[in-house]
Amino acid sequence: MIISVMVTGSPVSQQSARTALSFCEAALAAGHQLYRVFFYEDGVYIGSSLTVSPQDERNINADWSAFVQKHQLDAVICVASALKRGVLNENEATRYEKSASNLAAGFDISGLGQWVDACLNSDRVVNFGA
Distance CA(49)–CA(124), nearest Å, equals: 29
Binding-site size, another protein (CB under 8 A)? 17
Closest by CA position to 115, among listed 86, 70, 74:
74
* Min separation Cβ 52 and another protein, Å: 25
Task: Say if residues 4 and 123 touch (Cβ distance below 8 Å).
Answer: no
Nearer to another protein, 78 or 104 (CB): 78
Residue 78: active-site member = yes
- For position 125 contacting another protein by CB under 8 A, the verdict is yes
**Which residue in 47, 80, 83, 110 binds another protein (CB under 8 A)?**
80
Is residue 91 helix, strand or coil? helix
Task: Say if residues 57 and 18 touch (Cβ distance below 8 Å).
Answer: no
Nearer to another protein, 40 or 64 (CB): 40
- For position 76 contacting another protein by CB under 8 A, the verdict is no
